[in-house]
Structure formats: structure tokens, C-alpha cells
Amino acid sequence: MTRKPRRNAMSVDVEEWFQVQAFAGVIPRDRWDSFDTRVEASTDRILAQLSGVGAQATFFILGCVADRHPALVRRIAAEGHEIASHGQGHELVHAIGARRFRDDIRRAKRTLEDIAGVAVRGYRAPTFSIGPAITPWAHRVLAEEGYRYSSSVFPVGHDLYGAPDAPRGPHCPDPEGVPELPMTTLRAFGRNLPCAGGGWFRLAPYPLFRAALKRVNAVEDRAGIFYFHPWEIDPGQPRLAAAPARARFRHYARQGSMESRIARLLHDFAWGRVDRVFAGAIGEAEAPAGAAAA
């Protein structure tokens, strides 16, 4: 009997191209309203791709985007995708502290639920800015504000984010907090290698990424979490010459091929919403087993 393919979780972080952390030093927050919005058209193309293969996903949506595009949020919900929170204003969690974090996630949850008419259970921190060392209070605050899970920790080393010593699988950082569903990594060469999407996915050869995710599914017998952004499939967006070269490279590299790569990924693997793929972990996550936990 042929074994049914393991289903992975597809997720989209819904934000504008000018709201990314890579451009924070050259685009002040108070200038956001001066830029033309592009997120709705790109997200609609993503919805069409998902519909074409009958796949559902989780959309982690910024509250400020939902405020500006309520019809888009309702379309996402109407097509059966999970509505989840990316916070209100794309601020780094470790930078704003526990009190402002609470205000941010409360406002975003209320906004999304009022617009979509569904309960918001999931949260993803902007730029994966949650970690056991820098925000030990975050998962408890999420639980207190009515969330059921976080998908905010990336167990890799990176200059902008990452918690390389965090467990690689679902776990509870705080017994009174929500479970954490970390971004997918592959353990190889004595380190955690990213296997979750974003810039890593755009830059790596597609066959290499596919082989890595297949290994996570087959050898480790676990589901993966993939993520990307609407601006990653929008090569026509403005080029920001004032941004540092590294930031421009990270943001713009291979955007022209991203949509076709997503199409291949949707064809090569089975996909579902985060809350359904990881329903067991959300209901009862394992306790952390220390830095070496798989």
C-alpha cells in the first residue's frame, strides 16, 4: 500500500514591501502611508495559486495591512485559509518590551477578528524576533491574550534573527504560555540549516531545497513549515537605492523566479494550514528537552 505523503504547513506573512526590517533604517515608520500599496494584488495571485492546487494555508496578517485592506482579509477567510496575526505594526518584539507587545498583539487580534469574523489563534513575530533568551515573557503574554500558538522562533544563527539553541520541534517554552511551532530546519554538519522558505528558498537551488524538505518529512518523520511574503513574488516593486547593498540583495534577489518556484513547491508536496497540520502540537505540545532537542 502506498504511503500517503506527509502534509506540510504553508504560511504567508502578509506585509507591504516597504515594511520589512531590511529597510527599517531608510524608510521611517511615519512615511509608510506615502508609498503605494502593492500587497493586495500580490496576495490575490497567491490565493489563485493555492486555489489552483486545492491547497489551504495560514496567512499571518499585519493589523495595519488589515486596516487598509479589509476586503482582502475577508477573501482569504472566505477561501478557507487560516487567519492569523503578524502583530499590528511590524515592530521587533524584543525591542518593544512586554507591555507594548501585549498592546500590539491585542490590537491586531481584535482587528483581524472583527474583519474576518473568525477566531485568530496563531501568531508569528515580525522578523522572528522572539527567542528564549530575549523574550522569555512572550509566550505567556500570547496565552493571556487568547492566542493558541506561536510560529515565531527560527532555530538558526543569523545576523538579524535566530535562536540556534532552541528546540527544532514543537515545544512549550513556558508552561503557562502557548506552544511554539518553530520554523523548519534540517540538522546537518553539526548545525541547523534553514529549510523553511524566505530568502533562503529564493537563493538555494530548488532541487536542494526539495531534497532537504523531503528528508525532514521522510527521515525525521515530521511536518515542515514553509513561509514567504507577497512582496517576494512582486519583481515590479520599486527599487530602493538608498538601502544598504546587503539589504537590497536580501530583499530583491531572485524575485522574478519566486512565483514559479512556489508553483513547483505546491506541486511537489502536500500542504495545509498551520493550525490543522500541527493540531496535535497545539493541543498538547511536548516539554522542551534542552538545547539539543530535535
Band (286; pLDDT cuts 50, 70, 90): very low
CB-based burial, 232-256: b 16+ in 10 Å, e otherwise: bbbeebeebeebeeebbebbbeebe
What does the pLDDT average to over 117-129? 97
What does the pLDDT average to over 53-57? 98
For the stretch 110-114, contacts whose Cβ atoms lie closer than 8 Å and that sit 24 or more positions apart, written own/partner, are 111/63, 111/66, 111/67, 112/61, 112/63, 112/66, 112/73, 112/83, 112/84, 112/85
Distance CA 210, CA 218 (A): 12
Q: Is the pLDDT of residue 210 over 70?
A: yes
What does the pLDDT average to over 263-271? 98
3-state secondary structure of 243: coil
For the chain, the structural domain boundaries read 14-283
**Res 284: pLDDT:** 45
Distance CA 260, CA 49 (A): 10
Work out the mean pLDDT of the chain and round it to a whole number: 92
Assigned C-alpha cell, 120:
485568530
**Res 188: pLDDT:** 86
Band (294; pLDDT cuts 50, 70, 90): very low
The hierarchical CATH code for the domain 14-283 is 3.20.20.370
Phi and psi for 183 in degrees, rounded to 5?
Answer: -65, 150
What pLDDT, in 10s, does the model give residues 141-170?
999 999 999 999 999 866 666 677 889 999
